Structure formats: structure tokens, C-alpha cells
Amino acid sequence: MNVPAVMLLIHLTHIHLKALETSWVEGGVRCPLGQFPCGNTSECLPQVLQCNGHKDCPNGADERQCGDNIGWADLFARTLQKTNPVDQYFLNECLLQEFPESCDCIQTDVECVEVSLQDVPSLSPNVTWLSLRSNEIRVLSDFVFSEYSALERLFLQNNSLHFISKHAFSSLHNLKRLFLSENLISFLSPGVFGDLNQLEWLMLDHNPLSSLSQDTFTGLQSLMYLSMVNTSLQQLPHPSFCQHMPALDWLDLEGNQIQTLNYSILKTCSKLEVLLLIDNRIRTIPENTFQSLWKLAELDLSRNRIRELPKNTFKSLSKSLLKLNISHNPLLRIHPSHFHHLTHLQSLALEGIEIADIQTKVFLPMKNLSHIYFKKFQYCSYAPHVRSCKPNTDGISSFEDLLANMVLRVSVWVMALITCFGNLFVIGMRSLIRAENNLHAACIKVLCCADCLMGVYLFFVGVSDVKFRGQYNRNALLWMESAECRTIGFLAMLSSEVSVLLLTYLTLEKFLVIVFPFRNLRPGKFQTGKNC
Ligand SMILES: *[C@@H]1O[C@H](CO)[C@@H](O)[C@H](O)[C@H]1NC(C)=O
Ligand SMILES: *[C@@H]1O[C@H](CO)[C@@H](O)[C@H](O)[C@H]1NC(C)=O
Ligand SMILES: *[C@@H]1O[C@H](CO)[C@@H](O)[C@H](O)[C@H]1NC(C)=O
Ligand SMILES: *[C@@H]1O[C@H](CO)[C@@H](O)[C@H](O)[C@H]1NC(C)=O
Ligand SMILES: *[C@@H]1O[C@H](CO)[C@@H](O)[C@H](O)[C@H]1NC(C)=O
Ligand SMILES: *[C@@H]1O[C@H](CO)[C@@H](O)[C@H](O)[C@H]1NC(C)=O
Ligand SMILES: *[C@@H]1O[C@H](CO)[C@@H](O)[C@H](O)[C@H]1NC(C)=O
């Protein structure tokens, strides 16, 4: 149990909280920094009660607008709205002359789901929507769709596709969305998508692709959304990934084995708005990597192996980035200038990252930040201007700030008791036994008293721990400001200073006695020493 450390912590927290007591204005309502108004009322509630799943404002405003839809969720909703006009005709009639019996047909849409098809069935040429999901198709041979040039959406997920011939998709000039997820595709010939000039979505998730060349994507000049989750990719095609996909807006590469990312790979991806690289093996990110991505709004680098980030990595994204996730990386250090430029950022996730030298100035430049995610609850107090900070108190005894665990809590009480009773006992015994050296006896009594004060201090720390358990943060400011806190702080300080001084005095005296034994020989000296 390190008494001075606990003391120091209390005082540092105290100083820190004091420093944050500047005013905070939002929507005309004045709240102290670290607090946020209850909707349009003048009531203020601390950060920790915002979005904690419990209504604390009388009007419940603290639980409103808590969802973090920043980034792709928002963009996706907008994209869908744009490209998905509500169908005006509720016509269930089939407009095709020919389609397999096992399939369903509505207007020009054909659905053949889980019907054990082994080949692409023959259909009328004006089919626009074809789902062959969950069948047993193994091979797509050349020109297999060449008659269906009216096709706009083609679903081939969850088949056993392992070979796609180079001209399989030829003449699908109107295709907008192509789903090839959950197959066994390990190779895509260069130019296989060459005719898909209108393609906007391409889903290749869960295929054992492992490698790709830049020419695989030739012809995809309208592609906006490319999803390659869990495709065992070791490397992004280089020298430049988006060379044939100039409109690429959204790239999902979650769950691959990508190790390098650099400027030249992303150079041509200047339209990119969402880049997801979750769960890869990226170790380093050169400073200029994102320099060409001037539209990037969401960047997710979580669950990689990044140990160090150059200071200006995100600098070029300062005008665009709204959401950044670098959680679960073994980052050694978070430098203030990492986020310095990200003034538009609204959501920042730093889960699972130990921030040794956390400072308020790291987060303050991000004025528009509304969601922040940390490893520890206690970091939240360093971002008091952010409304929603996770984790909040739920499930955590928040006094853990001071008494981090059970061992610490128990030791506070044990030490308090031992210190108090031990010292009282010594004082009592000393008073009973006739002292031979009065000065010395007095010294030791004072020393005991001082020590006793430390016991009292610990006792109070323990009591306030129990008192504020589970809601420490709510009371932290009040407690730090209170007279009791200051008084016991003073007692602790007094105790240690008196102890140090007295011990110095006693040690010095003893030293002199040993060095000059005869000059200072007095009866009783060594006897006294035994009791010390
Ligand atoms: C707050 O807003 C609600 C509706 O959003 C309104 O009914 C109410 O009058 C407002 N209260 C004040 C004090 O402006
Ligand atoms: C489908 O194509 C056939 C001939 O190719 C044509 O007669 C028919 O009108 C078309 N139907 C629709 C709904 O376009
Ligand atoms: C994949 O297809 C099989 C049948 O072919 C089906 O049993 C299974 O549920 C499908 N899986 C998914 C995720 O659709
Ligand atoms: C990744 O894809 C492979 C097939 O390529 C599949 O066996 C595996 O279950 C997938 N993993 C996850 C986490 O989806
Ligand atoms: C970028 O990464 C690729 C793939 O690892 C590598 O071949 C290329 O040399 C790198 N470029 C630079 C400028 O480091
Ligand atoms: C950040 O990434 C982690 C790990 O991939 C994920 O669990 C978390 O939900 C992400 N946070 C946000 C805000 O997207
Ligand atoms: C912060 O958000 C507000 C409202 O959403 C917006 O008007 C303002 O421009 C943003 N500021 C910055 C620096 O992004």
C-alpha cells in the first residue's frame, strides 16, 4: 500500500478537475465543462450520466440522440435512399415467358433460392433481377449470362462456385449489383469484370481469394462499393488499388491478412469515403498513407498490429474525417498531435488502448466530437467536452479511480486499523513506562501521533470509498472541493512531513552517537533506540 501514491492521486485528480471548471455553452444553456444540458431546459447533467441507459433528466433528454450513426451507417442510409426509390407498382404478375418451375417470378424478377440448382437456368432475356442464392452451382462458364443483358442485380451467394471463366459476365452491361459472397472462389482472372461498366456494388465476402491483381478490376469504372470481408487477402494489389475503380467510395477489407498499406496503394482511391480495415495484420502506417483520400469520412483500423503511428498520419484527413476507430491495436503511445487536426471528427474509438500519459489537450482540439470510446472509464474525465463517453459507470465501481481493486480496498482498511491501533498502543505503553530520556520519549510520541494521523487519513479514504461506491464520478468534484477532503489531505501531508522530519532528526542523532560514541555517551540512549 503506497500511501503517498494514493495521496498524490487524490490531489492530482483534484487539481485536474479544478482546471476543467471553465464554462461550457451549448444551445444557449450554460453548463460547466463536463456537463451537458437536458435538451432545451437549463438543467445540466454530468457526462457520465449521458447515454448510460438510464433516464436521469426529468424529460429524458440525456438518453436521446445517443446512437453513433456517424460514418458509414449514415452514408449507407443516404445511399439507399438515393438508389432505392419506393416501388410504385404493386404488381405481382410475372412478365417473363420462360422461367424454371422451382423458381418464383414477380414482374421481371426471378428468385431461385435453395433449390439445388447446379447450373444457371434458362430464362427469358428481359429478366432484370435474378437470385440464385444458396444453390449448388460450381462453375460459371463463358457467356453463361450473355442473353440476360437486361440484368441489374445478380445474386450468387452461398453456392459452391470455385471457377469463374474469364467471359462469364460478358455483356451484362446493365448490371448494377453482383453478389458472389460465400463461395469457394480462389482466383479471379484479370478482366473477368470487364463488361460490367455499370456495376456499382461488388460483394466478394468469404471467399478464399488470397491474392488479386490490379487488373482483376478492369472495367469497373462505376463501382462504388467493394466488399471483401474474410477473403484471405495477403496484400492489396499494387502499385495502385483503385486504378480501374475511379468511383470507389466504400471499401470493406475486414478480416484479411493485409500487412502493408501505403500511399502508392491508395493513391488512386481519391473518391473513397469509407475505408474499413478491421482485423488485418497492418504493422506500420507511413505518415503520407492517406494523403490522397481527401473525401474519407470513416476510417477503421481496429484490431490490427499497429504499435506506432507517425504524428501526422491523419493530418491530411482533417477536413473530411468524421469517424475514426483505432481500437485494439498494441499502440505504445498516443501523441497529442495525432488528433490535433481532426476538427470535424465526431466519433473516436480508442478501446483497448492504454494511454499512459493521457492529457486533456489531446482531445480538446476535436470540438465536434460527440462520441468517444476508451479502455477505461477514468479516461472519460480527460474528454469532458464529449457528450457520450464509453465505458461509463455501468457495472464498474467507479471509485476504482482511487482504489483500483479489492486488494487496495482491503489494504486501506487493514493499514488504517494497524496504523491507528499500533500507534495508540505505543503511545499508551510509552506513557506507562517511565522514560529515561524525556526528549526522546516525546519525540517518539509525536512520531506516533503523526503516524496515527495517516491512519485517520486512510480511514477516511476507506469511508468515502464505501460512501461513493458506484457513483464516485458523480460526486468526485464535490468531494474534491469539500472541506473534509482538504482537511484529511492536510492531515496526511502533515503526518508525512512530521514523520520525515522526526525520523531525520532521530537518525542524525544516532549517527552522531555512533561516530562520536564517547562525546555523546549518555545513559539510556541505546535503550531508547530499541523501541524505535
Ligand atoms: C423544449 O422543446 C419542447 C419540444 O421539443 C417544447 O415543447 C418545450 O416547450 C421546449 N421547452 C422550452 C423551455 O423551450
Ligand atoms: C420481354 O422480351 C420479349 C421479347 O424479347 C418482349 O416481347 C416482351 O415485351 C418483353 N417484356 C417486357 C416486360 O419487357
Ligand atoms: C447456404 O446454403 C445451404 C443450402 O445450400 C443452406 O442450408 C444454408 O442455410 C445457406 N446458408 C446461408 C448463410 O444462407
Ligand atoms: C472465412 O471464410 C472461410 C472460407 O473462405 C470460411 O471457412 C470461414 O469460416 C470464414 N471465417 C469467418 C470468420 O467468417
Ligand atoms: C507499398 O506497398 C507495396 C506492397 O507491399 C510495396 O510493393 C511498395 O513498394 C510500397 N510502396 C512504397 C512507396 O513503400
Ligand atoms: C471499433 O472497433 C472495435 C473492434 O473492431 C469494435 O468492437 C467497435 O464497435 C468499434 N467502435 C465503433 C464506434 O465503431
Ligand atoms: C461542428 O458541427 C456543427 C453542426 O453539426 C457544424 O455546423 C460545424 O461546422 C462543425 N464544425 C467543424 C469544425 O466541423
**Residue 399 confidence (pLDDT):** 39
Q: Which residue has the higher pLDDT, 384 or 263?
A: 263
Closest of 267, 239, 251 to residue 301, by C-alpha: 251
Instruction: Please tell me if the CB atom of residue 207 comes closer than 6 angstroms to any atom of ligand 4.
Output: yes
What is the predicted pLDDT for the residue at 472?
Answer: 61
- Cα 475 from chain centroid (whole Å): 26
Q: Could you tell me which residue, 395 or 190, shows the higher pLDDT?
A: 190
Binding site membership of 510 for ligand 5 (Cβ less than 6 Å): no
pLDDT average, residue stretch 425-439: 80
pLDDT band at 170 (very low <50, low <70, confident <90, very high): very high
Q: Which helix (H) or strand (E) holds 225?
A: strand 225-227
**pLDDT confidence bin for 522, thresholds 50/70/90:** low
Q: Of the bound ligands, which one is closest to the alpha carbon of residue 350?
A: 6
Ligand nearest to the CA of 109: 2
> Is pLDDT larger for residue 397 or for residue 100?
100
User: pLDDT tens digit string along 453-468?
Assistant: 888 888 887 887 777 7
Q: Which residue has the least CA distance to atom 3 on ligand 5?
A: 238
Atom of ligand 5 nearest to the CA of 236: 4
Residue 158 CA, ligand 4 centroid: distance in Å: 12
Grade residue 327 by pLDDT with cuts at 50, 70 and 90: very high
**Which range among 156-170, 191-205, 424-438 shows the weakest confidence by mean pLDDT?**
424-438
Is 184 close to ligand 4, i.e. is its CB under 6 Å away? no
Q: Does pLDDT of 405 surpass 80?
A: no
Give the confidence band of 475 by pLDDT, cuts at 50, 70, 90: low
In terms of pLDDT, which residue wins out, 482 or 311? 311
Q: Whose CA is nearest to atom 1 of ligand 5?
A: 262
Determine if ligand 3 sits within 6 Å of the CB of residue 142: no
CA distances from 438 to 443, 480, 530 (A): 8, 41, 15
**How far is residue 467's CA from residue 445's CA, in Å, rounded to a whole number?**
32
Is residue 352 assigned to a domain? no
Q: Quick check: is 482 in a domain?
A: yes
Residue 7 CA to residue 403 CA, distance in Å, equals 11
Phi then psi for residue 373, to 5 deg, are: -130, 125
Specify the residue with its C-alpha closest to ligand 1, atom 1: 40
Gap from CA of 196 to ligand 4 centroid (Å): 27
Give dist(CA 224, CA 201) in Å, integer. 6
Q: In this predicted model, what pLDDT tens digit does every residue of 68-118 receive, in sequence order?
A: 777 776 767 666 665 554 454 556 788 888 888 889 888 888 999 999 999
The yes-or-no verdict on residue 303 having pLDDT over 90 is yes
pLDDT of the residue at 240: 86
Q: What is the pLDDT, as a whole number, of residue 520?
A: 53
Distance 73 CA to ligand 6 centre (A): 13
- Ligand 2 environment, Cβ below 6 A: 95, 108, 124-126
Predicted pLDDT at 396: 36
Average pLDDT score over the chain: 82
Ligand 7 atom 14 nearest Cα: 344
Query: Does any ligand 7 atom lie closer than 6 A to the CB of residue 259?
Result: no
Q: CA-to-CA distance for 455 and 439, rounded, in angstroms?
A: 24
Q: Identify the residue with better confidence: 138 or 238.
A: 138
- CB of 318 closer than 6 angstroms to any ligand 7 atom: no
Supply the range of the domain harboring residue 471.
3-20+402-514
Residue 330 is predicted with a pLDDT of: 94
Ligand nearest to the CA of 97: 2
Atom in ligand 1 nearest the alpha carbon of residue 40? 1
Domain assignment of residue 45, yes or no: no
Quick one: pLDDT at residue 77?
67
Count Cβ atoms within 10 A of the Cβ of residue 32 and give its class: 0-12 exposed, 13-18 middle, 19 or more buried.
middle
For residue 288, pLDDT beyond 60: yes
pLDDT digits (tens, 9 = 90+) for 16-51: 333 333 333 334 457 777 788 888 888 888 877 887
Mean pLDDT score, 125-133: 91
Residue of 108 and 180 predicted with greater confidence: 180
Domain total for the chain? 1
- With a 6 Å cutoff on the Cβ, whether 134 touches ligand 3 is yes
Q: Is residue 213 part of a domain?
A: no
Q: Would you say residue 142 lies in a domain?
A: no
Ligand 5 center to 284 CA (angstroms): 12
Distance 74 CA to ligand 1 centre (A): 27
Say if residue 121's pLDDT is above 50. Answer: yes
The whole-number pLDDT of residue 391 equals 84
| Contact (CB, 8 A) for 157 and 178 | no
> Mean of the pLDDT values across residues 385-409?
64
Banded model confidence at residue 230, pLDDT cuts 50, 70, 90: very high
User: Using CA positions, which residue lies closest to atom 10 of ligand 1?
Assistant: 40
- Residue 122, pLDDT above cutoff 60: yes
In this predicted structure, what is the pLDDT of residue 89?
Answer: 54
For the ranges 222-231, 392-401, 403-412, the maximum mean pLDDT occurs at 222-231
* Ligand 1 geometric centre to CA of 27 (Å): 13
How many A from CA of 168 to the centre of ligand 3?
Answer: 24
Q: What percent of the chain has pLDDT over 70?
A: 83
Position 418 in a domain: yes
Q: Give the Å distance between the CA of 265 and the centre of ligand 1.
A: 52
The mean pLDDT value for 150-165 works out to: 93
Question: Mean per-residue pLDDT for 318-329?
Answer: 94
In a domain, 412, yes or no: yes
Q: Please tell me the distance between residue 111's alpha carbon and the centre of ligand 6 in angstroms.
A: 35
Cβ neighbourhood burial of 37 (10 Å; 0-12, 13-18, 19+): buried
In the predicted model, is pLDDT for residue 227 greater than 90?
Answer: yes
Across the range 425-430, mean pLDDT stands at: 84
Task: Provide mean pLDDT across the span 135-151.
Answer: 93
Cell numbers found for residue 393: 459507470
In a domain, 448, yes or no: yes
pLDDT at 10 over 80: no
Judge if the upstream peptide bond of residue 239 is cis by omega within 30 degrees of 0: yes
